[in-house]
């Protein structure tokens, strides 16, 4: 399998490991497979047996082999086994699916070390980076900014990986005590937590400023682990396959809490591959950039000041960084048209409008995509209802999707909600909904009491550079 850019009309396709350590394509587009691999009914049956017999790592190897042509099969199996096992995911079954109530199911994706679904892809990425860096005789210093889930998921995945260091900026005092303790309690010299005196945007500005110094960036092998990395999307395809198979391989629909269009993009890929997925319903919170597009055909990015802080904070986005990959498919993989929309119209006007195009009119029939959004009151009600009626406690992001799923559920098609975090991460909202704190899984007992490792810093790019220079791999 080789990869092309969503904007390149005539560039040479690249191999999987060639795009692994890159961010955007040189033309500003995103890398996508030249075509999607197609699987038939016999393959789905064989995968079902494989999952049953050998577990999730074996399924991951089978599915990811279709996307990765330049790593020997045995090596890829080892990478999958090191990423997906009982030491990493605290569950009897990796990606179990359990009933919520009539017709609704939950796919459990949050049993990894950071208690959010991002671990599903990030653990694979950590093992893949270690493997590929060793093969190329390279090192990587990851520089990132986080307001919560991505940072801790990246730190747990990269901790202990040879050749990798992580420099993670966080806004001082602005994460929940649990999130802060998750990151700062990591005791590993390769993980450098930096608390910046400022807000999340200040952290991001610092990352941009340091990365803009190309000579520094090259000298210290700086890179990122952002959600546009194709390897993360590919790894997420596996849990859509697993969730389908857990319900016997008959047609199912999914409802997915969505921010950057990363999680649901993997569902779209699985559907294009021929997995039995009827509909893919995306759920947003009050920051409804994507719901607006799927309802009206207008994609309008928000100004930072117009992004509201909600009780499902990991979906508080102003634009959806993976959306371009879907638009590429929507427009029949017309790279020139995608380039005009994302490189010309968006920066120029702040929106583009596909409402008049035939592709938009048939989006639901062709791609199964539908959407809805929810409010804080909806989330509280969904958490309360699942708890009172079914004895199941869900986190506020999952609650966004449960709210929307109820509007779209059909009697004959199971609707699977992807659970994107454990409630323990968002204790205050849970308490608001049901009047008590969520139970704490044993592995997080006493988390906030552990010693914390963090360096305080002002908004100072030179100070950050000298810290990187001292601690880089």
Ligand X SMILES: *Cc1c(COP(=O)(O)O)cnc(C)c1O
The residues carrying an active-site annotation are 118
Q: How distant, in Å, are the alpha carbons of 87, 133, 231 from that of 74?
A: 21, 17, 18
Number of residues this chain uses to bind ligand X (CB under 6 A):
16
CB 253 within 8 A of CB 280: yes
Q: Which of 163, 259 has the CB closer to ligand X? A: 259
**Helices 262-272 and 323-330 sit at what angle, rounded to 10 degrees?**
30
Query: Which of 341, 317, 137, 290 has its CA nearest to residue 226?
Result: 317
DSSP string covering 230-285: HHHHHHHHHHHHHHHHHTTTS-EEEEEE-SSSHHHHHHHHHHHTT-SEEEEEEEE-
Give yes or no for residue 146 binding ligand X (CB under 6 A).
no
Q: Which of 193, 260 has the CB closer to ligand X? A: 260
Q: Using CB under 6 A, which of 156, 261, 299, 387 touches ligand X?
A: 261
Residue 369 Cβ, how far from ligand X at the closest point, in Å? 14
As a whole number of angstroms, the distance between CA 285 and CA 363 comes to 22
As a whole number of angstroms, the distance between CA 163 and CA 112 comes to 23
Give yes or no for residue 323 binding ligand X (CB under 6 A).
no
- Closest chain position to ligand X (CB): 262
Q: Using CB under 6 A, which of 126, 257, 267, 423 touches ligand X?
A: 257
Give yes or no for residue 258 binding ligand X (CB under 6 A).
yes
Residue 422 Cβ, how far from ligand X at the closest point, in Å? 9
Site mask for ligand X (CB under 6 A), range 53-92, x = bound: ----------------------------------------
CB 318 within 8 A of CB 259: no
> Which stretch, 69-77, 95-103, 199-207, 258-266, contacts ligand X (CB under 6 A)?
258-266
Q: Using CB under 6 A, which of 6, 227, 253, 374 touches ligand X?
A: 227
Residue 471 Cβ, how far from ligand X at the closest point, in Å? 27
Q: Using CB under 6 A, which of 112, 144, 223, 259 touches ligand X?
A: 259
> Which stretch, 193-201, 256-264, 382-390, 444-452, contacts ligand X (CB under 6 A)?
256-264
Residue 444 Cβ, how far from ligand X at the closest point, in Å? 16
> Which stretch, 23-31, 70-78, 156-164, 259-267, contacts ligand X (CB under 6 A)?
259-267
As a whole number of angstroms, the distance between CA 462 and CA 468 comes to 10
Give yes or no for residue 221 binding ligand X (CB under 6 A).
no
CB 194 within 8 A of CB 467: yes
Q: Which of 261, 352 has the CB closer to ligand X? A: 261
> Which stretch, 52-60, 123-131, 196-204, 260-268, contacts ligand X (CB under 6 A)?
260-268
Q: Using CB under 6 A, which of 71, 270, 315, 416 touches ligand X?
A: 315
Based on the number of CB atoms within 10 Å of its own CB, is 10 exposed (0-12), middle (13-18) or buried (19 or more)? exposed
As a whole number of angstroms, the distance between CA 67 and CA 209 comes to 34
As a whole number of angstroms, the distance between CA 312 and CA 320 comes to 16
Q: Using CB under 6 A, which of 397, 402, 423, 430 touches ligand X?
A: 397
DSSP string covering 129-190: HHHHHHHHT--EEEEEE-SSHHHHHHHHHHTT-TTEEEEEEEETT-S-HHHHHHHHT---TT
Give yes or no for residue 420 binding ligand X (CB under 6 A).
yes
Give yes or no for residue 118 binding ligand X (CB under 6 A).
yes
As a whole number of angstroms, the distance between CA 165 and CA 468 comes to 10
- State the DSSP code for 354: -
Q: Using CB under 6 A, which of 262, 267, 423, 438 touches ligand X?
A: 262
Give yes or no for residue 311 binding ligand X (CB under 6 A).
no
Residue 118 Cβ, how far from ligand X at the closest point, in Å? 5
Residues that bind ligand X in the complex, under the rule CB under 6 A:
116, 118, 149, 227, 257-263, 314-315, 397, 420-421
């Amino acid at each position: 399998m080789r990869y092309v850019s969503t904007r390149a009309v005539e560039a040479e396709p690249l191999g999987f490991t060639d795009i692994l350590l890159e961010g955007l394509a040189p033309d500003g587009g995103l890398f996508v497979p030249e075509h999607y691999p197609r699987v038939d009914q016999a393959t789905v049956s064989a995968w079902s047996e494989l999952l049953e017999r050998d577990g999730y790592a074996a399924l991951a190897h089978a599915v990811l082999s279709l996307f990765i042509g330049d790593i020997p099969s045995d090596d890829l199996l080892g990478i999958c086994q090191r990423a997906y096992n009982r030491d990493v995911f605290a569950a009897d079954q990796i990606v179990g699916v359990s009933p919520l109530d009539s017709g609704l199911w939950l796919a459990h994706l949050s049993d990894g070390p950071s208690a959010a679904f991002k671990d599903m892809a990030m653990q694979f990425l950590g093992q893949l980076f270690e493997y590929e860096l060793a093969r190329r005789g390279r090192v990587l210093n990851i520089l990132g900014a986080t307001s919560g889930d991505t940072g801790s998921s990246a730190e747990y995945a990269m901790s202990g990986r040879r050749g990798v260091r992580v420099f993670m900026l966080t806004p001082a005092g602005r994460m929940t005590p649990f999130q802060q303790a998750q990151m700062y309690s990591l005791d590993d010299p390769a993980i450098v937590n930096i608390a910046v005196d400022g807000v999340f945007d200040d952290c991001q500005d610092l990352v941009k400023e340091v990365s803009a110094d190309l000579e520094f960036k090259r000298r210290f092998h700086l890179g990122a682990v952002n959600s546009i990395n194709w390897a993360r999307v590919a790894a997420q395809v596996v849990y859509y396959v697993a969730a389908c198979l857990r319900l016997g391989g008959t047609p199912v629909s999914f409802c997915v809490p969505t921010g950057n269009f990363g999680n649901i993009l993997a569902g779209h890929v699985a559907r294009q591959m021929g997995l039995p997925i009827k509909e893919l319903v995306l759920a947003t919170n009050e920051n409804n950039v994507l719901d607006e597009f799927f309802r009206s055909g207008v994609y309008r990015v928000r100004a930072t000041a117009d992004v509201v802080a909600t009780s499902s904070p990991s979906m508080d986005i102003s634009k959806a960084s993976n959306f371009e990959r879907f638009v590429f498919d929507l427009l029949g993989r017309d790279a020139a048209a995608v380039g005009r929309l994302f490189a010309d119209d968006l920066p120029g006007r702040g929106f583009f409008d596909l409402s008049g195009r035939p592709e938009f009119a048939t989006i639901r029939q062709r791609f199964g995509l539908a959407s809805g959004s929810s409010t804080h009151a909806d989330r509280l009600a969904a958490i309360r209802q699942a708890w009172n009626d079914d004895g199941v406690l869900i986190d506020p992001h999952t609650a966004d999707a449960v709210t929307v799923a109820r509007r779209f559920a059909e009697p004959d098609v199971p609707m699977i909600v992807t659970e994107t975090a454990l409630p323990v991460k968002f204790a205050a909202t849970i308490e608001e909904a049901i009047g008590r704190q969520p139970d704490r899984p044993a592995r997080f007992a006493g988390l906030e009491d552990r010693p914390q490792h963090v360096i305080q810093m002002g908004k100072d790019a030179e100070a950050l550079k000298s810290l990187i220079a001292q601690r880089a791999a």
